[in-house]
Amino acid sequence: MGETTRYALRISTETEGDRLKVVPYIEASDAAALRYEVISRKEGPSGTASTRQAGSVQVACCAPAAASQLTLRVRREDRYVITVRLYAAGRQVAERTVTYP
């Protein structure tokens, strides 16, 4: 993993009924062993809640890899913020946030 390695992070979201499926995709310009965090935060009339999921992923050069999958039960009156952070050699190299709706 060289100093010039570039990272791309994309978050795919898909709803089916009252479920929101969140899948972060990671791509690197060189093969790499990476660590990720997925943090979700729900805000609504019933209060706030958050979850955190972390793990490791091996990515091949130039091929997107799904890091994990998170499924949330969603309600119309709630707002969701999902943040994904990507780390290489203990250093944060990318971050992306999506909101729903």
The whole-number pLDDT of residue 3 equals: 61
Q: pTM of the entire structure?
A: 0.91
Question: Tokens 């943040």 map to which residue?
Answer: 83
Break the chain into its structural domains and give their ranges: 7-100
Q: What is the pLDDT of residue 1?
A: 46
CATH 2.60.40.2420 correct for 7-100: yes
What pLDDT shows up at residue 28?
A: 94
Q: Which two tokens stand for residue 81?
A: 């913020």
> Where do the H-state alpha helices sit in the chain?
none
pLDDT tens track, the chain, 101 positions:
446 789 999 999 999 999 999 999 999 999 999 999 999 999 999 999 999 999 999 999 999 999 999 999 999 999 999 999 999 999 999 999 999 99
- CA of 30: how far to CAs of 12, 41, 77, 98, in Å? 22, 32, 42, 26
Cα(92)–Cα(85) distance, rounded to whole angstroms?
7
